Amino acid sequence: LAGKPLHNIICAKLIFLLWCTAGNGYIEGKELENFFKELETARRGAAGVDPTHAAFKEKMKEFMANFDKNADGRIEMSELAQILPTEENFLLCFREFVGSSAEFMAAWRRYDTDRSGYIESNELEGFLSDLLKKANRNYDAKKLNDYTQTILRMFDLNGDGKLGLSEMARLLPIEENFLLKFQGIRLTVKEFDSLFTLYDKDGNGYIDEQELEALLKDLCDKNKMVMNRLVDYKKSIMALSDGGKLYRTELEIVLCRDSTL
């Protein structure tokens, strides 16, 4: 991309959404070839791009060697972010201070101040302000507002002006995004209410860590899902709890289909 960089993170997100048609959080196979073809077209023009030519394949191989950091043959959002200008690269800044799903969930709880299950623009602004301070980035009120609107445009996929948990979790690396693991078993409100009532045996309105572990294990067994990191996922979800008490609202934003995209 020498001489013709992507100028901001919105461009990267739009490109990522355009080619990541499978919705699995990364680009691979034909998506990856189309993605690289578009990048080469931006550099050389349509006439200079022939996916069957050896030079094209060599350039694509070189691109993957530079940006496919985990060498899995596919590109995820965090890897794509490497081509963005440092000043505008929110993703790398975010990853520096929120490196795990448990830290992400703790941050979510801290900045979702009204416990709505969403990060509204004013809450997001507070989050970005703290993030920029930790990264020693200089900013003024206008730039902070611009950054806030950029993040909303980038991750607010349903355009409601706020970020749901599943939307903001796209900031996480794929291996840390436990929400992706539960995509196939999202519950309706009715299903969730029945499940929560079943495991809240004493009817006190919350479940503890042991009850959550039993709930997740049974949910995975019922849906024939292998969860090698169940302990980590449990820890991440418990980061939403209040002193070890996981209330209905907190668990709902993780498991209930109606609370996500």
Residues 6+ apart with CB under 8 A from 244: 208, 209, 238
Residue 60 has a pLDDT of 86
What lies within 8 Å, CB to CB, of 146 at 6+ separation is none
CA dist 142 and 140 (Å) reads: 6
Closest CA to 152 of 188, 176, 128: 128
The DSSP call for residue 256 is B
Residues with Cβ within 8 Å of 233's Cβ and at least 6 positions away in sequence, in order, are 101, 178, 181, 216, 227
CA angle 224, 205, 116 (to 5 degrees): 85
How confident is the model over 24-45, as pLDDT tens digits? Answer: 667 888 888 887 887 777 667 6
What's the average pLDDT block by block, 10 residues per block, for the chain (261 residues)?
A: 45 56 71 80 71 85 85 78 58 67 82 85 87 77 84 79 80 68 73 91 89 88 76 86 89 69 34
What domains does the chain contain, in order, with CATH numbers? 9-83 (1.10.238.10), 176-259 (1.10.238.10)
Output the pTM of the full model: 0.59
**β-strand pairing of 75-76 with 118-120:** unpaired
The whole-number pLDDT of residue 259 equals 47
d(C-alpha 121, C-alpha 111), whole Å: 11
Q: What pLDDT does 212 receive? A: 92
Beta-sheet strands, E only, within the chain = 26-27, 75-76, 118-120, 162-164, 206-207, 246-247
d(C-alpha 21, C-alpha 143), whole Å: 32
With tokens 């997001």, the residue in question is 124
Burial level of 114, CB count in 10 A (0-12/13-18/19+)?
A: exposed
3-class secondary-structure state, position 192:
helix
Q: pLDDT per residue over 71-103, tens digit each?
A: 888 887 667 666 655 545 666 667 666 767 778
Confidence (pLDDT) at 196: 92
Torsion angle of C-alpha atoms 169, 174, 175, 181, degrees rounded to 10? 70
pLDDT at 260: 40
CA dist 43 and 77 (Å) reads 21
**With the C-alpha atoms ordered 70, 132, 171, 229, is the resulting torsion angle positive or negative?**
positive
